[in-house]
Structure formats: C-alpha cells, structure tokens
Amino acid sequence: MNSRLWLVVPAAGRGSRVSTTRPKQYLELAGRSIMQHTLSRLYYALPTAQLCLCLDDNDAHFDPNWVPFSHWRRASGGAERMDSVLNALLAIDSIADADDIVLVHDIARPCVLPVDLKRLLSAVQREPAGALLAAPVADTMKRDNGAGHVLRSEPRDGLWHALTPQGFRYALLRRALEQARARGRQVTDEASAVEALGLSPELVVGRRDNIKITHPEDLGLAAHILAAQRASDYSF
C-alpha cells in the first residue's frame, strides 16, 4: 500500500514581532496574504497531499477560500508550535497510517520552492529517520557572554540552519512529540523531538531564500524574493 502524504501547517501564532494589528500570516505580501502565498506554493508542488491547517479557535481573519487543496481539515492551534503539530496528528489519528508521510511547514515561509519540496519528499520516502530542509551556515558565528559582548567565535563547520518543511513518518513523529510533551520539553522544531529519540534525520540542502518572516524587515525581503523568483524560470 502506498503511504499517504499529509501537510501539517501550524498557523496559530500571533507574530507580535511583525505586527500588533493581526497575526503575521494575514499580513499582505505582494497583493495576497502570507498564508495564501504559502499554501499556494505547497499546493503547486504537492497537489494530492491532504492538508491539516492549525488555527487558533478564535481566529477571525481566516478565509477558507484561501485553501487550494481538495482535501483539508482544520485543527486547533496550541500554545506552542509543538502543541499545534501534535493536535494535528491527533486530529487525523483515525485515518492516518503509521507509515504515512507528514511534512510540517511554517506558514510564515512563503518563498519555499517546489523543487525543494519535491527533493525533501524523496528523502523522507527513503530515510526511516525522516529529513528536513536545511542550509549550511555561511556567516561567522559568535557566542555572547551574557552581557552583550563576544565571548568567542564558534566554528561554523558542520553547522546548519534548520528550515522547513521537515518530514517524518506519522508514527515516528507522533511518538517523538508525545515523548517530548511527557518529559516537559518544548522543542522548536520536529527534528529536535526525533533527535531526542536517538535518531539522525537527513539534512536536505535547501535554498537560502526560503526565509521565515519573523521581523518587520522580512516582509520587504520576502517581496523582493518573490519578485525575483517570478522573473526566473519558476512559474506559480
């Protein structure tokens, strides 16, 4: 039996570092909301996937017409990202198989390209420990002394920026997140939870323009990236 593909997209955050008027996923970017851009990118590359969108129960900004997927459902967002993802996994418990593939993607990464999505999916299909998009660290890394001054420089060899999506088999990801919750650990990405099980997910080199919109200046940068991508060989 072929495993199904699920997309879990946490979108319950407030994004207060970018805007105080509405969650960042609803801010306008190149004529559409960030959410619309992100979901469109995912659909373009993976149109047969089943989407589980994690939203705040009191979300008054969401428009279902923004979802291009034929098969999708809404899950309750949690207090933290880990809680939202686990809520989504529990929401599909009765229909998901242990070997189904789950890709988790940040709603605030609207510039991800289909070529990276497809390469990641291929890696997850062959790698039992799962895989994640990542980019090798290019900048010199500094560790501070706790008082705003440099303590030392850190070797950047072997260091990577973790990106999304990150992909794992359903049963593995659920076990990892449930164990993290049971131990009171708040993990900032799914790979960290899987690593805590003693496993080593595969690092799949992703494009550096797959940025996460976190600060106000990121909106302008994302707009330039989208324009550059449209002007290249990519079509969406």
**Both structure tokens of 167:** 């992909």
**Would you report the helix, strand and coil content of the chain in percent, each value rounded to 5?**
35, 25, 45
Q: What is the pLDDT of residue 19?
A: 58
**Are the beta carbons of 236 and 230 closer than 8 angstroms?**
yes
Q: What is the pLDDT of residue 21?
A: 77
- CA 138, CA 161: separation in Å to the nearest integer? 9
Split into its structural domains, the chain has a count of: 1
- Whether residue 183 lies inside any domain: the answer is yes
Q: Which domain holds residue 140?
A: 5-231
- Whether residue 147 lies inside any domain: the answer is yes
- Whether residue 176 lies inside any domain: the answer is yes
- Whether residue 236 lies inside any domain: the answer is no
3-state secondary structure of 61: coil
Q: Is the dihedral of CA 201, 203, 207, 208 positive or negative?
A: positive
**Beta strand 141-144 pairing with 150-154:** antiparallel
DSSP letter for each residue of 1-50: -PPPEEEEEE-----TTT-SSS-GGGSEETTEEHHHHHHHHHHHH-TT-E
22-61 confidence digits (pLDDT tens): 899 999 999 999 999 999 999 999 999 999 999 999 999 9
- Whether residue 44 lies inside any domain: the answer is yes
- Specify the CATH number for the domain of residue 200: 3.90.550.10
- Whether residue 191 lies inside any domain: the answer is yes
- Whether residue 43 lies inside any domain: the answer is yes
- CA 60, CA 57: separation in Å to the nearest integer? 9
- Whether residue 134 lies inside any domain: the answer is yes
pTM exceeds 0.85: yes
118-163 confidence digits (pLDDT tens): 999 999 999 999 999 999 999 999 999 999 999 999 988 999 999 9
